[in-house]
Amino acid sequence: MTDAQMAEFGAAAPYLRKSERERLEAQTRPFDMKKECFVPDPEEEYVKGTIISRDGERASCETERGKTVTVKEADIHPQNPPKFDKIEDMAMFTFLHEPAVLFNLKERYAAWMIYTYSGLFCVTINPYKWLPVYNQEVVLAYRGKKRSEAPPHIFSISDNAYQYMLADRENQSILITGESGAGKTVNTKRVIQYFASIAAGGFKRDPNDKRGTLEDQIIQCNPAMEAFGNAKTIRNDNSSRFGKFIRIHFGATGKLASADIETYLLEKSRVTFQLKAERDYHIFYQILSQKKPELLEMLLITANPYDYAYISQGETQVASINDADELMATDEAFDILGFTQEEKNSIYKLTGAIMHYGNMKFKQKQREEQAEADGTEDADKSAYLMGLNSADLIKALCHPRVKVGNEWVTRGQNVQQVYYATGALSKAVYEKMFLWMVVRINHSLDTKQPRQYFIGVLDIAGFEIFEFNTFEQLCINFTNEKLQQFFNHHMFVLEQEEYKKEGIEWTFIDFGMDLQACIDLIEKPMGIMSILEEECMFPKASDTTFKAKLYDNHLGKSANFQKPRIVKGKPEAHFALVHYAGTVDYNINNWLVKNKDPLNETVVGLYQKSTMKLLAHLFANYAGADSAMADSSASGKKEKKKKGSTFQTVSALHRENLNKLMTNLRSTHPHFVRCIIPNETKTPGAMENPLVMHQLRCNGVLEGIRICRKGFPNRILYGDFKQR
């Protein structure tokens, strides 16, 4: 495209494509293909260099930093000629290798060109600053253009998916993956913005209806869900602590018809605990911002976050977020989505009640292992907000009734047990409220218009390797293992099968990236999840018996299951798993409890009879592990299945949701967007080579480009899968 043609992109043009002048300059720059190269570097992964001399299998090179190094011939990678500088599709390189990909991304990023094609998919790097590349002018410029006709952009991916959907009459999906802080959620929002703009529905609501149009409502899902599902983490000020698959449904003519959202794995532990540099969910601090003082009054709270133990263990303010403005955005989003005042008040009241739960105090009774209330002010406030009787609440916490066989007995609780129960109840209320909000939003987005096709957008937590990895990390990493396998299968297996069908002479290539062994180790009968489920059914099982069973079944029998390396000063780990993105050490403490997720069922009984409609609704169908086990042991084996089936462990529910997602994805034509985090300090424009290289190796970017180069027909380069 000429500079004149790029003018339609307006102020975005220089952030999307090199100018004609720059392209011309690159073509005339002197360049010696035999000497210009990349060489490995212990700190920077690779550096540019010039070969000075060759001696057998070794060569001397002068690096761009003025150092002379001697390297093996095999470690020297030739540079691409200057006309390939900042190339838009890396599959077109003459020399395709790791440093060529790394430096191309690095040089484009330095020029704020944050989107780059990499064969079949789009790579994007978080700029950590606002760029003028998403306004309406840019939306219109991408409308109806083939991938090869416009610069790389999330709008191009979106428009291509839309055109495919209409031409092939096939559902589409856009999978946006990457580590925390890489920009998944921002890109998800941009996809939604694009469809809301180009496919606005033509139907009108009743003029007296205060709700927004469907386009407005789809866009307003974000502030509502982010307030309750996003939080500041070390790497990201607005980190989604849940995964989501948003399906946007279109009518036969391509107009928006409706939408729905499925969510995965809300990180509920954050409700009651945060790390030093992190925050609880945004909504708590939004309410405390005093922008709507009537909320503080209604919730019986002060404006000081440090008055509330659950929400003040980390930081309470974020420089990049204005909590007062965000509260107004959240409240307005609820209105546009059609929430009633009663529904809004109930959500705020339950959020406030959780803050009071964290302040409830208990003490040990003299000379007995029994807890009692140490003052009732906070219990009184939370009971009032939840539509409960305060004395009943305290009694249920300190003296719960439990079912033993057919009998109900009262069981005493020590202080630690009561504090555990209040934390578990707070997390359960929050999680169930969040899931109800999603159902309620879906109800608003269902216009009852006829649906013909959908485009699904997946925004889900990337692979996690922390110092300390536990049950939550296993669930997230298992999800990513499945998604990576879907990607590999689509890219490497299905495409090659297609050539056979079309009679193209083709030798099948095994790219050695089959992840089935790790997936089987986690999900198959007698795999990690299955052993965990089994242990949860035995009253006497413990973390120790769980670990012993894992070792008996898998150590030495599966190459993906290993003993963890013991490193001084590192947190304790009990087993290691070899995932596609690296080996992760897992700590199994409390996995049985986390999986069963038990609640004080006497308190749940109070919730079910609450005068607050929402709270009673949230727990109406609650089935706990303890009741299920008591019922099954009391009523013999015949009833066991029927009674126990209403109770689902966390891992069983997660696997069920994940299988549904994979079935959904397999029914679509997928488009892949890989988000990259460039540095750990959120610094605009800075790129840490080892960090970026690790992500490129983990997520199949390099394999994806290579496969395009192994002789795949040209159509794959442009994402033009089908020969029409």
Could you say which of 240, 382, 632, 689 is catalytic?
Answer: 240
Confidence of residue 101 (pLDDT cuts 50, 70, 90): very high
**Of 357-371, 502-516, 704-718, which range is least confident?**
704-718
CA 29 to CA 698: how far, in whole Å?
35
Residue 514 main-chain phi, psi, to 5 deg: -75, 125
The reported pLDDT for the residue numbered 206 is: 60
Confidence of residue 502 (pLDDT cuts 50, 70, 90): confident
SS3 144: coil
User: Mean of the pLDDT values across residues 415-443?
Assistant: 97
pLDDT at 634 over 80: no
pLDDT at 211 over 60: yes
pLDDT at 638 over 90: no
CB atoms within 10 A of CB 75: 15
Could you say which of 49, 119, 178, 181 is catalytic?
Answer: 181
675 touches 692 (CB < 8 A): no
**Pairing between β-strand 239-240 and β-strand 582-586 as defined by DSSP bridges:** unpaired
The reported pLDDT for the residue numbered 343 is: 98
Could you say which of 156, 177, 180, 689 is catalytic?
Answer: 180
Confidence of residue 492 (pLDDT cuts 50, 70, 90): confident
The reported pLDDT for the residue numbered 589 is: 96
DSSP 232-246: --SS-TTEESSEEEE
Could you say which of 236, 479, 480, 587 is catalytic?
Answer: 236
Of 198 and 714, which is predicted with more confidence? 198
Is 254 known to be catalytic? Answer: no
**Pairing between β-strand 453-459 and β-strand 172-178 as defined by DSSP bridges:** parallel
User: Mean of the pLDDT values across residues 52-57?
Assistant: 93
User: Mean of the pLDDT values across residues 158-170?
Assistant: 96
CA 716 to CA 704: how far, in whole Å?
11
Is 239 known to be catalytic? Answer: yes
244 touches 250 (CB < 8 A): no
3-state SS, one letter per residue, for 528-583: HHHHHHHHHCCCCCCHHHHHHHHHHHHCCCCCCEECCCCCCCCCCCCEEEEECCEE
CB atoms within 10 A of CB 298: 15
- Name 230's bridge partners: 240
CA 715 to CA 722: how far, in whole Å?
8
Of 440 and 28, which is predicted with more confidence? 440
339 touches 440 (CB < 8 A): yes
Could you say which of 239, 312, 351, 610 is catalytic?
Answer: 239
DSSP 403-434: EETTEEEE----HHHHHHHHHHHHHHHHHHHH
CB atoms within 10 A of CB 435: 14
pLDDT at 26 over 90: yes
- Name 240's bridge partners: 230
User: Mean of the pLDDT values across residues 265-294?
Assistant: 96
pLDDT at 654 over 70: yes
**Of 191-205, 371-385, 438-452, which range is least confident?**
191-205
DSSP 694-709: HHHHHTTHHHHHHHHH
556 touches 544 (CB < 8 A): no
Specify burial of residue 277 (Cβ count, 10 A radius: 0-12, 13-18, 19+).
Answer: exposed
Confidence of residue 500 (pLDDT cuts 50, 70, 90): confident
593 touches 366 (CB < 8 A): no
The reported pLDDT for the residue numbered 487 is: 86
607 touches 616 (CB < 8 A): yes
pLDDT at 9 over 50: yes
Is 240 known to be catalytic? Answer: yes
62: region left, alpha or beta (phi > 0 left; psi from -120 to 50 alpha)? beta
Query: Nearest Cα to 470, choosing from 556, 568, 595, 567?
Result: 595
Query: Nearest Cα to 350, choosing from 597, 605, 617?
Result: 617
The reported pLDDT for the residue numbered 724 is: 24
Q: What are the distances in angstroms from CA 256 to CA 38, 248, 259, 335? A: 49, 7, 8, 21
CA 462 to CA 479: how far, in whole Å?
9
Q: What residues contact 296, with CB distance under 8 A and at least 6 apart?
A: 287, 288, 290, 302, 303
pTM of the model: 0.91
Sheet of 36-41, strands arranged across: 68-72, 58-63, 45-55, 36-41, 77-78
CA 79 to CA 35: how far, in whole Å?
9
The reported pLDDT for the residue numbered 508 is: 72
pLDDT at 204 over 80: no
Of 405 and 341, which is predicted with more confidence? 341
**Of 263-272, 405-414, 495-504, 664-673, which range is least confident?**
495-504
Could you say which of 104, 118, 160, 185 is catalytic?
Answer: 185
Specify burial of residue 593 (Cβ count, 10 A radius: 0-12, 13-18, 19+).
Answer: middle
**Of 260-274, 315-329, 339-353, 688-702, which range is least confident?**
688-702
Q: What are the distances in angstroms from CA 580 to CA 208, 271, 428, 502? A: 54, 31, 33, 32
Is 507 known to be catalytic? Answer: no
> Per the structure block, which two tokens stand in for 453?
């096709």
90 touches 705 (CB < 8 A): yes
CA 361 to CA 398: how far, in whole Å?
12
If you ran DSSP here, which 8-state letter would residue 494 be given?
I
Is 185 known to be catalytic? Answer: yes
Specify burial of residue 44 (Cβ count, 10 A radius: 0-12, 13-18, 19+).
Answer: middle
**Of 159-163, 491-495, 607-611, 673-677, which range is least confident?**
491-495
The reported pLDDT for the residue numbered 235 is: 84
pLDDT at 672 over 90: yes
For CA atoms 21, 23, 28, 32, give the dihedral sign. Answer: positive
456: region left, alpha or beta (phi > 0 left; psi from -120 to 50 alpha)? beta
615 touches 405 (CB < 8 A): no
> Per the structure block, which two tokens stand in for 379?
């219990």
Of 73 and 493, which is predicted with more confidence? 73
For CA atoms 177, 182, 186, 187, give the dihedral sign. Answer: negative
Confidence of residue 484 (pLDDT cuts 50, 70, 90): confident
CB atoms within 10 A of CB 45: 18
pLDDT at 717 over 60: no
CA 472 to CA 463: how far, in whole Å?
11
Confidence of residue 442 (pLDDT cuts 50, 70, 90): very high
CA 333 to CA 218: how far, in whole Å?
10
Is 644 known to be catalytic? Answer: no
205 touches 211 (CB < 8 A): yes
Task: Tell me how many degrees the CA angle 592-608-535 measures, rounded to the nearest 5.
Answer: 15
pLDDT at 645 over 80: no
DSSP E strand stretches across 289-420: 362-364, 371-373, 401-404, 407-410
CA 297 to CA 169: how far, in whole Å?
54
pLDDT at 721 over 70: no
Is 589 known to be catalytic? Answer: no
Could you say which of 44, 315, 377, 464 is catalytic?
Answer: 464
Terminal Cα-to-Cα distance of the chain (whole angstroms): 25
The reported pLDDT for the residue numbered 269 is: 94
User: Mean of the pLDDT values across residues 622-644?
Assistant: 58
Is 382 known to be catalytic? Answer: no
Of 295 and 720, which is predicted with more confidence? 295
If you ran DSSP here, which 8-state letter would residue 469 be given?
B
Mean of the per-residue pLDDT values of the chain:
90
